Structure 1
Amino acid sequence: MLQHCLYCLIMSATMTGCVSATVTAVNLGFSNGYLEEWLYSWSIAFPVGFVLLISLSPVFRRLVDRIFR
């Protein structure tokens, strides 16, 4: 269980960080306020992504197992 939580933490931090950085850059460009806006967006996206990944990854794992059986 601890391994699964750590995996979800790393994966959600990476994915939400990259996506929020990309969307912030597309919307604002790399202006003076980019870093502050990106961190704000990421601070919202990361907890949402983490909770979704923790709760949905077992469902997705079973789905993939069924597909490949």
Structure 2
Amino acid sequence: MTQSKATLITAQVFISGLMAFLMTLIFTAIPMGFAPGWVGEWLLRWVTAWPIAFVLSLGVGPLAFRLAALAMRFVQRPGRDGAGL
């Protein structure tokens, strides 16, 4: 199923936002714990990380889809049942 370009970009906005949200949460909470001020620091890191993650996803997303397609062609070659994956 082929997605429209608008759907793919919208998905990348959500994916990059959620990944930046979770990653910055984890990597702010680990060194700071839940000490006073950690929420402000986390949100600052998230607001900084999200646009960077989105721009990077524009390049990495198509590459990941191509790699997935190659992997699936390899797995689905005649004589392979894909049971090892």
User: TM-score, normalised to structure 2's length?
Assistant: 0.77
User: Is 2:39 the partner of 1:41?
Assistant: no
* Identity %, equivalent residues: 29
Q: Which runs of 5+ in 2 are unaligned?
A: 74-85
RMSD: 0.8
- How far does the alpha carbon of each residue in 1:7-62 deviate from its partner, in whole angstroms, 9 at most, with x for none? 00100111110010011000111111011000111111111111111222111101
**Residue 30 of structure 1 aligns with which residue?**
34
Secondary structure of 2:36's partner? coil
Instruction: Give the equivalent residue in structure 1 for 2:69.
Output: 65
More helix by share: 1
How far apart in 2 are the matches of 1:47 and 1:56? 14
Q: Runs in 1 of length 4+ with deviation above 3 angstroms?
A: none
Select the residue among 20, 38, 45 that pairs with 1:16. 20
TM-score (norm 1): 0.94
Q: Which of structures 1 and 2 has the larger relative contact order (alpha carbons within 8 angstroms, sep 6+)?
A: 1
In the alignment of these two chains, the number of paired residues is: 69
